[in-house]
Amino acid sequence: MAGFIYIHVPKCGGSSFGAALRLRFLTSQATIRLGQGDLSLTGEAHILSDYAARRRELHAHVARGVRMISGHVQYDSDLHLNEAQNYGFLTLLRDPVSRFVSHYNYLQRKHPDAQRPDTLDAFLETRAAHRLASQYLFYFAGQSQGQAQDTGPLVIRAIRALSCFDLVGDLSDPQACHAALREITNGPLPLWHRNRAPQSVSVPRNLRSRLEHLCAPDLEIFESVRHHKAAA
């Protein structure tokens, strides 16, 4: 393979995953930069402009032949079929409900916003919650729930995209991911500092049904990928 592209979905425990890969290809590696959005835009428009810039940076790294590229960047099927057809594609997923709660808690700790409700219960009623709950749709099908009325075709698109990946790891089994990475990269891989099951996230029992409903598209994607991986 010419190299590898690691798509890092937020709060899937992928920081150590990406760090191990970058150390493996230390002399030819790059991380997609954050914060490239158009400052004249706000809200969702600003976020989308940021991801568009990240996509352009991904293309530039591939054009230069960088062997290991990682970052919070959306999957690009055209890139995969053309310029990056000789690259291996990798990602790491997690139970969507736990991922959602972890993401909300992270935002509250690291990126406080007076406009964001300070309780998970209230946050579930916001448009931002729908975007946060559909990260798998956004990363692997190009749109979140808030951008599409019918998510069915997006779920199918995301599942098809992930079926083209060389590795779709499951955060609940990091040792298996590490072993698969060593085989795929065909060489020694630095120790993964978090090579253990993650601490469980506390999902409020009274909110679980609402969370599962909100995360339904991502849950369908996650379960489909897990089923196919087990069948293989």
- Average pLDDT of adjacent 10-residue blocks, the chain of 232 residues: 95 84 91 96 94 98 97 98 97 96 95 95 96 97 84 96 95 85 80 51 94 97 83 46
Number of structural domains (the chain) is 1
pLDDT at 199: 56
Q: Are 90 and 162 in contact (CB under 8 A)?
A: no
Nearest to 137 by CA among 164, 167, 157, 123: 157
Strands (E), the chain: 3-7, 29-31, 68-71, 87-93, 167-170
pLDDT at 175: 82
Nearest to 60 by CA among 21, 14, 5, 20: 5
pLDDT at 62: 98
Range of the domain at 217: 3-231
Give the CATH number of the domain where residue 164 resides.
Answer: 3.40.50.300
| 71 vs 7: CA distance, rounded Å | 6
